[in-house]
Amino acid sequence: MTSDNLVSLVKKFKGLQNEFVDFGALDTEPRFIFRHFLSNISKLNPPTSWDLYDNSMDTNEANQELTKCATLIKELYSKLHYSEKAKFDSYVEESL
């Protein structure tokens, strides 16, 4: 397991945001929630709510898919060697 695997999952998450753009997945709030989660990944549980447009449409599938991906990122992060965690943390700091 390497930090590259996590970078691929971050890219997958961004793809999910594009897929669920009509639900607000690319808005400021979900982007902030994801960045905050990644920046504090060793301390936080994956988010279960992404501040999508749930008052005007059914966002259950979008919430579930985003949460599933974030949960996988957290699970894989917890299995990384310290040096790989440091690489991923640097990626997050520089890229997001």
pLDDT in tens, 19-43: 999 999 999 999 999 999 999 999 9
Determine the pLDDT at residue 70. Answer: 98
Q: Which DSSP symbol is given to 53?
A: S
Q: 24-29 long-range CB contacts below 8 Å, 24 or more apart?
A: 24/51, 24/52, 24/53, 24/59, 25/50, 25/52, 25/62, 25/66, 27/51
Determine the pLDDT at residue 2. Answer: 87
Determine the pLDDT at residue 77. Answer: 97
77 CB burial (10 A radius; 0-12, 13-18, 19+): buried
- pLDDT tens column, 74-83: 999 999 999 9
Q: Is the pLDDT assigned to residue 58 strictly greater than 90?
A: no
Q: Is the pLDDT assigned to residue 45 strictly greater than 70?
A: yes
Q: Which DSSP symbol is given to 47?
A: P
